[in-house]
Amino acid sequence: MTALPAIETLHFADDGIVPNSPLPLVVYRGVLAESGDRARECVALFNRNGWPDPWRNGIYSHHHYHSTAHEVLGIAAGSAQVRLGGENGKSVELHAGDVVVIPAGIAHKREAASADLVVIGAYPRGQRPDLCRADPGAHDRAAASIAAVPLPASDPVTGAAAPLLDYWREAAR
């Protein structure tokens, strides 16, 4: 990748059910090549940039979040309509080639997807995800865990601190 792709940042406040995060969710548009094996490219990208052992699957169709890890999702094929930030969050269309970095605590849910959707996901080195549903009874415990999740060592797209950690450090001030 020679130049940074188009980048979008989205902010989601705690809604009392989903803790979300003060860190912005970051969407990189068109990161993966338009031809070739995007899934293989995505796995190599994440491994190379400190987000090891990527998995291949889809996106759950219920609101969920991770209180113990940040997550990156690469859309290797197809497209998906994803609700981010919980029920009152925002619906975003993700297309093949896009990569989204989801801070610990931000809920995500697949609302619709093409039949050919392929998602490659990973977590920063040393972080292991739990699976939390949007549940007010789990909110306070999850919020405490989310606050303790360290920033990753690198951006899963660039392998450097920038731009992801610049966005996140700025938000943490």
AA letter at 141: R
Within a domain: 14: yes
Q: What is the pLDDT of residues 52-79, one digit of tens each?
A: 999 999 999 999 999 999 999 999 999 9
Share of the chain above pLDDT 70, in %: 98
Instruction: Note the pLDDT of residue 35.
Output: 84
Owning domain of residue 94: 6-172
Within a domain: 138: yes
Within a domain: 73: yes
Going by pLDDT thresholds of 50, 70 and 90, the confidence category of residue 5 is confident
Within a domain: 1: no
Within a domain: 144: yes
Q: Assess whether pLDDT exceeds 70 at residue 108.
A: yes
Instruction: Note the pLDDT of residue 2.
Output: 52
Instruction: Note the pLDDT of residue 148.
Output: 97
Instruction: Note the pLDDT of residue 163.
Output: 96
Within a domain: 120: yes
Strands (E), the chain: 6-12, 21-29, 55-57, 64-65, 71-77, 79-84, 90-95, 99-102, 108-113, 118-122, 132-133
Domain count, the chain: 1
Within a domain: 126: yes
Backbone torsions φ then ψ of 64, nearest 5 degrees: -150, 165
Structure tokens at 39: 């899934």
Give me the CATH number covering residue 127. Answer: 2.60.120.10
Q: What is the pLDDT of residues 20-56, one digit of tens each?
A: 999 999 999 999 988 899 999 999 999 999 999 999 9
